[in-house]
């Protein structure tokens, strides 16, 4: 699986984990620059869009973001 936080961004491999409160945790394999709450994050398997959500917060760990589902 790979994801993006911007339309023209290069695809970045990531892991998505469901949390208990209708949110998901996304861990990108590389740091993602300038992630901002309110932006969208979208996830793909090849050319197929698997889903996405609105970024809620960006914790201090590089590459880790939490989004609403």
Give the tens place of pLDDT for each residue, 30-45: 888 888 889 999 999 9
Taking Cα atoms as reference points, which of 22, 1, 23 lies closest to residue 12? 1
**pLDDT tens digits for range 3-25:** 999 888 899 999 998 888 888 88
Q: Which domains does the chain have, with CATH numbers?
A: 2-68 (2.40.30.10)
Contact assessment for residue 24 and residue 67, using Cβ atoms and an 8 Å cutoff? yes
How many whole angstroms from its chain centre is CA 18? 12
- Please give the model's pTM, rounded to 2 decimal places: 0.79
Distance of alpha carbon 35 from alpha carbon 18, whole angstroms: 20
């Amino acid at each position: 699986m790979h994801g993006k936080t911007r339309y023209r961004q290069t695809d970045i491999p990531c892991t998505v984990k469901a949390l208990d409160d209708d949110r998901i945790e996304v861990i990108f394999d590389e740091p993602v620059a300038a992630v901002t709450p309110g932006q969208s994050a979208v996830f793909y398997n090849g050319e197929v869009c698997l889903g996405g959500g609105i970024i809620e917060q960006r914790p201090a760990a590089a590459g880790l973001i939490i989004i609403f589902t």
